Structure 1
Amino acid sequence: MRFDLRVKILFFIVFASLIGQAQTAEQIIHQHLENSGGISNWKKLNSLIIKGDAVLGLEESYPMTIYHRRPYDKKVTFMVQGKEMLNEGFDGKNGWTYNEISGKNEVLIGYEPDSFDSDMMDFQKKGFTAVYTGKANFEGKECYKVELTKNVNKVTYCFSTKDYTLLWEENQEEKLMYYDYKKFNGLEFATRIVGQPKEGGEYVIQFSSIQINPTIDDKVFKF
């Protein structure tokens, strides 16, 4: 076999492997979205009101409410000693948070709002690339690992090989683990999330109710 032919064959094998990985990653994401409610139904979701508790320590638990509306409007509040306190908010222009020193809500400089849709939805159109990187084991469950990358931002997701449920995701700042999935109007959500920031510590978010496509007054997003 001539050298140049061997090089061509090797190139074809590597190229075919990369194409196979890209297709596999896309298929895994597609199946996850379909199994959790269906892509068309996720795209019909336009607003959410989520209630639950944030557990920050052994004796630190705060009732919380999340308002989220397409495309970026968001409000996250905690009840602290009977008073509603803004943790995070976006009014379509600025990000906001409560300043304990001034006792007022103040603009967050450099705030980047969360998109209403998951980055996984139409990820190619958003400029992301997806690569399947192999299997892993999480608490006795086998999962597919998929890396979603855009510029310097990278998130690793791990989906159950059994039913494509998202078991965990990890970015540069923290790892999030998902438990106790339940369906609300046909859409599946994790109702318990455990977060492990890279700087240390752990917190738990426990959701008690999730409203699908509620009408949210514009005043909610005025800070």
Structure 2
Amino acid sequence: MTFEYLRVIVVVYTSALLPLVIVPWLYCRGRLPSWVFGAYLGSFLLCALGWELWFTYGLWAGDPVDVRRSEVLTQFIPIHINWVMNSLADAGSITLVGLWFMWLSNGRRSEVFQSWHWWPFAVFMVWALGQNILVEMFLYHDQLAVGKPLSWAPLAPSGPWWNPLLFQFNGRTITFQGQVPWLLAPWMIYGGIITLVRRQTPSSQ
């Protein structure tokens, strides 16, 4: 196994599983409101149903992940848990960290989650797209390269049929389809969280 494969495996499992430990621990210490669990679960479902399941199995006009990557990665991250790991990372290491950035950018005031605030949302969007570009460039560059079509997905509605190359870096490609999910998902996540927080009871704050 090469160092690059080991790096991918470690990053995937750490980013997926570490939030499962940290979030309950912070909540038990009184550092997180209870609505965070709803945001965590909702984000997981949105990412899983919105694109991760589709990309993993190549459900419509795309190749499944075990065709797009090496046998070593498929051995250590089997196809049937690939979408789970990616969705957990999307919900925990990306969404929840992004919400933390929003909170910080709003002066650590919780009203950022009670009504729409454009500047914190812009911070969330930059974080979501920025990390996704880095993932496509340095982590999943092999399985997301040009010539390895991704399935159509609800949050990647252009599918492989319209997927222009945005730019290249050191021979690694960044495509439109790979960025679309994180261009659309933050709007749904933030809107859903505002609705969730508004419905919470005083005892859950």
TM-score in terms of structure 2 length: 0.24
Q: Which has the higher strand share?
A: 1
Tell me which of the two structures has the higher relative contact order, counting C-alpha pairs closer than 8 angstroms and 6 or more residues apart.
Answer: 2
